[in-house]
A and B are shown apart, each in its own frame.
Chain A
Amino acid sequence: MTIAGRLNREDYLRKKIMKLNLNSPKVAPFIFVLPFVLTLGIFFVYPICSTIVMSFQSVHINDIRFVGFENYRMLINNTILPTAIRNSSVYTLLTLVLLIPFPMILATMINSKAMRGSSFFRSILFLPLLCSVVVAGLVFRFMFMETNSALVNSLVINWLGGDMVRWVSLRWPAMILLVTLACWRWTGINVVYFLSGLNSIPVELYEACEMDGANVWQKFRYLTIPLLKPTSIYVLTISIYGGLAMFVESHMIWAGRSSPSNIGLTIVGFIYQYGIKQGEFGLASAAGLALLVVVLIIVLTQLKLSGVLGKEKG
């Protein structure tokens, strides 16, 4: 292309760009949502699509073949998948039971006028979230070591008068270890959610209650809990997702290897084991899609039951 030609072309392009008025109400919204749409497309839609394709393939290095429903057949016949599902479900249930009521109570306490140093407790509770889960996993692994002198076992032996607990070898101790780690880590963020919910409850309502002679418990039971419902539903939703997607914690505690009797195997751990550790990306993709469907069904059911879905219409 000649220099003159190039100049002409540049001129044309510049004019075209000038014509595209970025400030116009028609264009601006698209510009604003573009980053989100791009992120969604690149990091969510594309991976999901390619996972769907891969779940019908046998995927090895430079050796990709379509195998139909073979991966799904293997997934259904797999004998360790039920263990993974059971572990993830039990873990999720336990975290729900512990990580919704207690943060709610803690948040109410912190929010109370009688509480001294509430900002101190707020930051202390939030601190674990800032700590890398890898580091936390290692520290917990050492705290829960299977020796008499390890921190937790020495407490068990000296205070409770029990025997040394084999934390990383037996099913229930291992579950307690994982749930403890989850509580330590997630209490703070749930407290923050509930605090923001509490702040949106008008003070007048509490004053009116007091006029009617309600005590602390009655205020909590008949005012705080019902008015925190939107927050609780949000926390419940993310906790279900977080529980079912748990992986790094158990990965750190068993140092990336299989746990005895698969006591630490979670659904995502299962995907990791087959996909990354054994190089069976096809099977892992099938498992990942199954997890996606299961989580979607659970969360949608829960949202439907709690009346969040379809609320606008009703």
Chain B
Amino acid sequence: LKNEQPDFDISREELHTMNKERLVSILFVSVLVLTLCVGCAQSPQIEQVVANEAAPIQASAPEEPAAPVVQGEVTKLEMLSFIEQHLDFFEKMAGIWNEQHPDRQIELVTTFLDWSAMHDKLYTTMMAGEGVPDIADVEISRWPQFMTGDIQFLDLTNYTAPYADNLVESRLEVYSKDGVQYGAPSHIGATVMYYNIELLEAAGIDYKTIVTWDDFEKALRAYRDATGNYMTYAETYGSYWFTVLLTQQGKDLIDDQGMPQLNTPEALKAAQLIRKWVDEDLIGYIPTGNADTPEGKAAVANGDVAALAYPLWYMSRFTDEMENLSGKIAIAKLPVWDENSYKSVGLGGTGTTVYKNSEHAALAAEFVTWAKLSEEGSTGLWTDIGFDPVNKLVGQNLAVTRDPGNKFLSYFVTNPFDVLAEIQDGMFTAKTMQNTQIINDYLSANTWNRIHVSLEDPAMVLDETQAELMSQANP
């Protein structure tokens, strides 16, 4: 019988590899142990930070804010966002901050996550009270869920005060609850019309003559008769058109208590106008029912859409993703119902917040409000990302509003600041309260499909929507 004894001869090379492996594992274990020790020994005092150290979000001990700032030390602030440009912008602003405040240096450690994952993680960390970043962006549609229970954001009212006189107040209110301001707005989000003048001229339409929704309807008809195509689309996913038509009449989606009000005569009038255009075959559909999805943007870029109502932040979709339309798009004010109508409404947006239990909450709050709301910050948000500035001083600065090198100003036929100047005295303040998210979700997922695709009676659908939303709404 053959000896089954395994071969124990180990070559020199194998021994070498084994030693190497052992070394690696010893190193690995020591690193683990060291990390644990460091984690345990984290002091509530300001940490000394090694420059450019990239670290994941760590638990910050829930200490009282405003730790003493020691001269010459660098404070590490963690920031979470779902928009990479925001993070780039904040990193740039942190550089400027450090130049201006040599005694209060900060190091911004930014983390990017996609929209849903970012908000999910932020909410869960706050629920657990562990690992919450010092600074976080919260998009308006996810904002309401953070306003329930014990609000975890720092009151920014005092930090905003130095800039308050020059800020568009309606935008601050969006991120406030019971008079306390919890978030710093990025933009006004004024809704405007984007006209593709090349397409409109080919159909013999001058967008400057469109003043009321009646004029707009005539243009829809003229465009269809001249080209056989539709000038615009019925929005079945998202509610920009509807919200514009509603708020121009001075009514909001919610009442003062934040409860849904979708069965008002104003809401019906707004829904019926869009439905009328559908019934008379004046408007078509856009893939996915929304102009801010990949398909929707492709439709706009292809020239399937000659007019669309969107907030000014949609400018960056043109400049970044539709280069072929450069010099063909005019920004103009929205058509109105009549001379008493509100001229525009601020929609969409992202509030930057500070975690109230952060060790460095005070410094973070000072930095965030300066970076977004000061003239300097607001100018940066405009030039870098194309956000219509919340700080009114920016609009008065000709070097900014007439800057020939600005990519947004050179892309569009008209100057967005001129449009803003025309509408700024007639802006409706849309509220964001506890039920806003439920309402917008429900309208997108159900109501518009039923009215504009299944062609159900708008009055009946809005009544049912209201009843359904009242059963889901939080008082």
> Which A residues contact B (CB, under 8 angstroms)?
60-63, 77-79, 142, 145-147, 164, 166, 168-169, 251, 255-262, 273, 276-279, 281
Contact = CB atoms under 8 A, between A and B. Distances in A.
27 contacts: A62-B150, A142-B294, A146-B288, A146-B295, A147-B299, A166-B287, A169-B287, A251-B116, A255-B115, A256-B114, A256-B115, A256-B116, A256-B117, A257-B116, A257-B444, A258-B444, A258-B445, A260-B236, A260-B449, A261-B445, A261-B449, A262-B445, A276-B120, A277-B119, A277-B120, A277-B142, A278-B438
A258 B152 contact: no
Contact of B150 (A63, A258, A273): A63
Contacts of A256: 114-117
Contacts of A78: 472
Interface string B425-446: 0000000000001100100111
B145 A278 contact: yes
Interface in B272-317: 287-289, 294-295, 298-299
B289 A260 contact: yes
B58 interface: no
Contact of B149 (A62, A168, A169): A62
Given A61-B148, A78-B472, A260-B449, 10 more contacts: A62-B149, A63-B149, A145-B295, A146-B287, A164-B287, A168-B288, A258-B445, A276-B124, A277-B145, A279-B146
B298 A77 contact: no
A279 B148 contact: yes
Contacts of A146: 287-288, 295
A108 B23 CA distance: 48
Given A255-B115, A256-B114, A278-B437, A61 B295 contact: no
Contacts of B437: 277-278
Contact of A79 (B116, B127, B145, B468): B468
Nearest to B449: A261
A61 B149 contact: yes
Contacts of A62: 149-150
Contacts of A279: 123, 145-146, 148-149
Contact of A61 (B119, B150, B441, B444): B150
A142 B146 CA distance: 32
Given A168-B288, A169-B288, A276 B123 contact: yes
Interface in B383-414: none
A259 B117 CA distance: 17
A101 to B, nearest CB: 34
Interface of B: 114-117, 119-120, 123-124, 126-127, 142, 145-146, 148-152, 236-237, 287-289, 294-295, 298-299, 437-438, 441, 444-446, 449-450, 468, 471-472
B171 to A, nearest CB: 24
Nearest to B471: A77
A61 B127 contact: yes
A273 B123 CA distance: 13
Nearest to A142: B294
B337 to A, nearest CB: 28
A131 to B, nearest CB: 18
A79 B445 CA distance: 13
Query: By CB atoms of chain A within 10 A, which of B114, B142, B237, B289 has the most?
Result: B237
A60 B123 contact: no
A63 B152 CA distance: 12
Contacts of A61: 126-127, 148-152
A60 B148 contact: yes
A176 B95 CA distance: 50
Contacts of A77: 471
Query: By CB atoms of chain B within 10 A, which of A78, A164, A169, A259 has the most?
Result: A169
Contacts of A145: 287, 294-295, 298
What 7 A-B pairs have minimum CB-CB distances, sorted nearest first?
A: A60-B149, A256-B116, A146-B287, A62-B150, A63-B149, A279-B145, A258-B445
A142 B295 CA distance: 9
A132 to B, nearest CB: 13
A281 to B, nearest CB: 8
A145 B116 CA distance: 20
B295 A147 contact: yes
Contacts of B445: 258-262
A147 B149 contact: no
Nearest to B121: A276
Contacts of B126: 61
A251 B287 CA distance: 19
Given A61-B152, A147-B287, A279-B148, A261 B446 contact: yes
A276 to B, nearest CB: 5
A103 to B, nearest CB: 32
A75 to B, nearest CB: 12
Contacts of A147: 287, 295, 298-299
Nearest to A166: B287
A164 B285 CA distance: 13
A63 B148 CA distance: 9
B153 to A, nearest CB: 11
B120 A169 contact: no
A60 B127 CA distance: 7
Query: By CB atoms of chain A within 10 A, which of B120, B287, B438 has the most?
Result: B287
A169 B145 CA distance: 27
Contacts of B120: 276-277
Nearest to B127: A61
B300 to A, nearest CB: 12
B152 to A, nearest CB: 6
